[in-house]
Amino acid sequence: MILFKRSFYFFLVVFLLPFINIVGQEAHYSQFYANPIYLNPAFVGTANCARVSVNFRDQWPSIPGNFISFSGSYDQHIDILHGGIGVLFSGDIAGGGILQTYNASVIYNYRVQASKQFQMQFALQAGYMATTFGWDRIKFASELLNASSPSVLPTEYQSSNFSQFDASFGFLGYTPYLYFGLAIHHLIPMKKNFFFLTADSWKPKWTAHIGGKIKITEKMRREVNFGDISLHPNLIFISQGNFHFLHEGFYFKFYPFTIGTWLRHNFKNFDAVIVTCGIEYKNFKIGYSYDFNLTKLERTGGSHEVSLQYIFPCKPKGKKPPSKRYTPIECPKF
């Protein structure tokens, strides 16, 4: 049984990774705005007060050795810097830990007050990305049957670790009712030579997004209250190498509850329908989403995703409140 599982993980990674590399090269989250810095580094500081976000995604849970992704971030606006700072850590584990990718980065965001109703943010992100292929986690039949036999792999492939500095850029523009942005991740190509993935590399990831807020009912203009109703239509396009996906969806918010639905597809076929729900309590938010696969991968169990977010209260200091001339972006929370 152990031999079967180890062999299954190996062949899962060997035969699936080339296809995964074609359709996408890194973790893909469905709760876009619950993980805003991952979507676009220009979202740093948009809550004005300090914000902590944690995300976890379990993809294809019905398959042994499924794909686990997680991320954590912290960001806040600082008046003296005329912008915000943030840190982001993310990880992606595939094939029961055989393939692991980690990325840690810092972000600086410069904010421009273009007009009374329109603000822009420009972000630079610098990080360090490490990818590991753990051959030591794989046991071949020859090794189990004859412990004295040498490894079937050349020495240089028994432990493959690659790392490199990473850089990204982000832009964000927003008004009280409209927001849009562009992000370019992985400006510095990173080569990978994982035995069967020779001479491959991480391609730059392009993300373009636009959305809006339609107020239906609102009790108070500057404060959210129970029963406030709004609709948030959104469009997100992500492209990386041969991977091109369009996401169309909307969120319906009846404060403090939010429900949403997305359709993810490329230019040839539909990939998944995403259903999201979330609840807010004061400064705390929790969300859950599930991806219903529409392709041949429908028996993989879809994808589960959970998000947690907390915004720290920031009280005015002295006579002038912090970030007085800036207003937080009115984008979805999940």
CA–CA separation, 177 and 60 (whole Å): 36
CA–CA separation, 281 and 207 (whole Å): 30
Q: What is the pLDDT of residue 41?
A: 97
User: Where do the structural domains in the chain lie, given as residue ranges?
Assistant: 2-311
What's the rounded mean pLDDT across residues 14-39? 69
CA distances from 267 to 30, 114, 246, 270, 273 (A): 19, 36, 8, 8, 16
Q: Which residues pair with 281 in a beta bridge?
A: 284
If DSSP codes are grouped into helix, strand and coil, which group holds residue 48?
coil
What's the rounded mean pLDDT across residues 207-212? 96
Q: What is the pLDDT of residue 135?
A: 61
Q: Kindly indicate the confidence band of residue 65, based on its pLDDT and cuts at 50, 70 and 90.
A: low
What's the rounded mean pLDDT across residues 306-317? 85
Q: Kindly indicate the confidence band of residue 286, based on its pLDDT and cuts at 50, 70 and 90.
A: very high
Q: What is the pLDDT of residue 15?
A: 44
CB distance 327 to 87 below 8 Å: no
Backbone CA torsion sign across 298, 263, 31, 216: negative
Of 36-45, 191-200, 219-228, 245-254, the range with the lowest mean pLDDT is: 191-200
Higher per-residue pLDDT: 219 or 108: 108
Higher per-residue pLDDT: 117 or 161: 117
pLDDT more than 90, % of the chain: 48
Higher per-residue pLDDT: 24 or 279: 279
* Residue type at position 109: N
Q: What is the pLDDT of residue 16?
A: 46
pLDDT more than 70, % of the chain: 74
CA–CA separation, 291 and 272 (whole Å): 6
pLDDT tens digits for 81-96? Answer: 999 999 999 998 887 7
Q: Kindly indicate the confidence band of residue 330, based on its pLDDT and cuts at 50, 70 and 90.
A: confident
* Residue type at position 47: A
What's the rounded mean pLDDT across residues 300-326? 74
Backbone CA torsion sign across 218, 211, 289, 52: negative
Mean pLDDT of the chain: 80
Q: What is the pLDDT of residue 334?
A: 80
Return the number of other C-beta atoms located less than 10 Å from residue 296's C-beta. 7
Q: Say if residue 200's pLDDT is above 50.
A: yes
97: tokens are 């830990």
Q: Give the angle subtended at the CA of 197 by the CAs of 193 and 199, to the nearest 5°.
A: 55
86: tokens are 């943030």
Q: What is the pLDDT of residue 13?
A: 46
What's the rounded mean pLDDT across residues 178-205? 75
Q: What is the pLDDT of residue 3?
A: 43
Of 59-63, 137-141, 180-184, 327-331, the range with the lowest mean pLDDT is: 137-141
DSSP assignment of 167-216, as one string? EEEEEEEE-SSEEEEEEEE--S--EEEETTEEEEEPPPEEEEEEEE-EEE
Q: What is the pLDDT of residue 219?
A: 77
Picking from 107, 109, 100, 110, the residue whose alpha carbon sits closest to that of residue 132 is: 100
CA–CA separation, 88 and 234 (whole Å): 24
CB-side neighbour CA atoms (13 Å) of 215: 13
pLDDT tens digits for 120-145? Answer: 999 999 999 888 876 666 555 455 45
282: tokens are 């004061």
Q: Say if residue 6's pLDDT is above 50.
A: no
What's the topology of domain 2-311?
Porin (2.40.160)
Q: Say if residue 302's pLDDT is above 60.
A: yes
